[in-house]
Amino acid sequence: MQVFHTIKQTQEWCLEQKQQGKRVGLVPTMGYLHDGHLALVKEACRQCDAVVVSIFVNPTQFGVGEDFECYPRDLAKDKELLETTRADVIFAPEVPEMYPAGYHTFVEVFGEITGKLCGASRPGHFKGVATVVSKLFLICQPDVAFFGQKDAQQVMVLEKMVRELNFPIKIVRVPIVREPDGLAMSSRNVYLDAEQRKQALVLNQALQKAEQAILAGERDLAAVKTILVDTIESSPLAQIDYAEIYSAEDLSDLNVIKGRMLMAVAVKFGSTRLIDNRLVEV
Catalogue the active-site residues: 37
End-to-end CA distance of the chain: 45
Per-residue b or e along 148-164, where b marks 16 or more CB atoms closer than 10 Å to that residue's CB: bbbbbbbbbbbbbbbee
CB 254 within 8 A of CB 245: yes
Helices (H), 20-165: 35-47, 75-82, 95-98, 112-115, 118-121, 125-140, 152-164
The H helix count followed by the E strand count for the chain is 11, 9
CA 166 – CA 187 distance, rounded (Å) = 31
CA 232 – CA 240 distance, rounded (Å) = 8
CA 142 – CA 14 distance, rounded (Å) = 8
